[in-house]
Amino acid sequence: MNWMKKTVLLVAVFVLGVVSGSMIWTSSADNSGLVDPNQPGSVNDPLVTKSYVDEAVANKVQAEISKQIDSQLAAKQKELDAQIEQFKKQLDALLGQAGGMVVVELQPNQTLFADPGTSLIVRNGTTVAVSTDANGIPDVTGGKDLMDGTPVELNHMLLFPREGRGIKSTHNKTVFVMVTGGYKILNADGTLASTSGR
């Protein structure tokens, strides 16, 4: 019977030692930094609900999608604007080549040289006739020829039977000219500003 008491006492001391040692080790590990302070549930990494995470992820995804859509829409709008502008230029060129009338803007000191068979009407401002030879430009409305340097009257139709003839703006603002047929516009320094083809 005596040995049984000793055995029970020995087992109790052993269990008490194991529990005490485990508690001392855990406390020591916490103080020494062996336990990760960022583990879930700690002060640095509090637990969150699934709904919170779902909402945060959804908001981030939605913001990124909106940003990408806005960027793509802006790029497409820019591309569309460029295509529309190109189409308008091509349409003006086709109308001019097919005999349709287009409105051309002539800036100060620019010269419009008409292709053979072209006609035009100056709508505003002041312009003068330009001819590279001794012949003038038929003013159909006025029933006369306009020699080089002659002022062009507003709303008079001019016909250009040959190339090398046109009109030059002497106005300080934009001059609007209605043109039927081909043409090219030169700047004051002789460089090409535009043509009926572009």
> For residue 124, what is the domain's CATH number?
2.60.120.1030
pLDDT tens-digit readout, 73-102? 888 888 888 888 877 766 665 655 555 688
Tell me the pTM.
0.51
* pLDDT tens digits, 135-177: 889 999 999 999 999 999 999 999 998 889 999 999 999 999 9
The residue behind tokens 């703006």 is 169
54: Cα within 13 Å, side-chain hemisphere: 3
Q: Give the model's pLDDT for residue 128.
A: 96
Band (185; pLDDT cuts 50, 70, 90): very high
Q: b/e string for 175-192 if b means 16 or more Cβ within 10 A?
A: bebebbbbbbbbeeeeee
Q: Does the residue 111 lie in any domain?
A: yes
- Contact by Cβ (8 Å): 121, 156: yes
Distance of alpha carbon 92 from alpha carbon 98, whole angstroms: 10
Length of the chain (residues): 198
Angle at 109 between CA 92 and CA 88, to 5 degrees: 15
State the average pLDDT for the chain.
80
> How far, in Å, CA of 102 to CA of 121, rounded?
10
For residue 109, give every residue at least 6 positions away whose Cβ sits within 8 Å of its Cβ, in sequence order, or none. Answer: 168, 169, 170, 187, 188
The whole-number pLDDT of residue 149 equals 93
Give the pLDDT confidence score for residue 94 in this predicted structure.
60
66 inside domain: no
Looking at the domain assignment, is residue 83 inside a domain? no
Residue-range definition of the domain harbouring residue 137: 99-195
The pLDDT value recorded for residue 19 is: 60
The verdict on residue 159 lying in a domain is yes
- 163 occurs within a structural domain: yes
Q: What distance in Å separates the CA atoms of residue 118 and residue 40, rounded to the nearest whole number?
A: 84
Number of domains in the chain: 1
